[in-house]
C-alpha cells in the first residue's frame, strides 16, 4: 500500500532527524505523562531546543515529541534559499516536498537575511577592526583562527534567528533591517 519512494522519504526523514536505529520500535508501553503544555512551555522558554533535547528533558520518545509538535501545528525544518537554479529545480522542489520541509524564499539583494552576511561577516568585520597584516600568510592564519574559535552554537544562533529577521523584513515592507 505504500510506494517505495514514499517509504524512502520516510526513512530518510527519520535518519536525517538522527534516528538511525533500523530495529522495529516497541509498539506497546505506558502512555506518556508529559502533556502538550509542558512541551510548549519548554519551547517558548528556549526556541532553539531540538526535538531530541525535548525528548531527553521529559524522558519521552523522540517520535512522541515529533508527533505532538506536528499535531500542535509546530513546523519542522524550514529550508531557506536564495532562488539559485539548483534550489528551484523541479527535482529539488520534489525532494524538499518529500522531506516535508517548509521552503522560505529569499528576496533578491537582501543581505540582512543571509546568515553569512548579518552574522558571520559582521563578526569578522568587527574582529578585523584595527588589524594590519604583513603577508597573505598572516591573513590566512588569522582567518583560520577566527573560524576555529567560533562555536557550533554561534552558527546555530545565526540560523535560528532567521524567522525573526524574516518577519522584521516583512513588517518593514522589504526594507533593510537596521541593527
| CB proximity list for 74: less than 8 A, separation 6 or greater | 43
Please give the distance of CA 99 from its chain centroid, rounded to a whole number.
14
- Separation CA 113–CA 166 (nearest Å): 7
pLDDT > 70? residue 177: no
- Separation CA 117–CA 105 (nearest Å): 17
In the chain, where are the structural domains located? 34-75, 76-106, 108-172
Tens of pLDDT, residues 77-125: 666 676 778 877 888 888 888 877 777 666 665 655 566 666 777 788 8
34-75 topology per CATH: Arc Repressor Mutant, subunit A (1.10.10)
Amino acid at each position: 500500500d505504500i510506494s517505495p519512494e514514499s517509504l524512502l522519504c520516510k526513512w530518510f526523514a527519520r535518519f536525517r532527524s538522527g534516528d538511525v536505529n533500523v530495529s522495529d520500535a516497541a509498539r506497546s508501553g505506558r502512555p506518556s505523562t508529559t502533556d502538550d503544555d509542558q512541551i510548549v512551555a519548554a519551547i517558548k522558554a528556549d526556541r532553539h531546543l531540538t526535538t531530541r533535547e525535548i525528548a531527553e528533558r521529559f524522558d519521552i520518545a523522540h517520535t512522541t515529541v515529533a508527533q505532538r509538535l506536528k499535531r500542535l501545528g509546530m513546523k519542522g525544518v524550514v529550508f531557506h534559499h536564495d532562488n539559485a537554479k539548483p534550489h528551484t529545480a523541479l527535482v529539488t522542489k520534489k525532494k524538499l516536498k518529500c522531506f516535508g520541509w517548509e521552503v522560505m524564499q529569499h528576496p533578491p539583494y537582501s543581505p540582512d537575511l543571509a546568515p553569512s552576511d548579518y552574522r558571520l561577516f559582521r563578526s569578522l568585520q568587527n574582529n578585523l577592526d584595527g588589524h594590519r597584516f604583513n603577508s597573505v600568510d598572516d591573513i590566512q592564519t588569522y582567518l583560520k583562527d577566527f573560524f576555529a574559535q567560533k562555536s557550533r552554537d554561534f552558527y546555530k544562533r545565526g540560523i535560528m534567528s532567521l524567522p525573526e529577521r524574516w518577519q522584521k523584513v516583512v513588517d518593514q515592507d522589504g526594507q533593510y533591517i537596521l541593527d
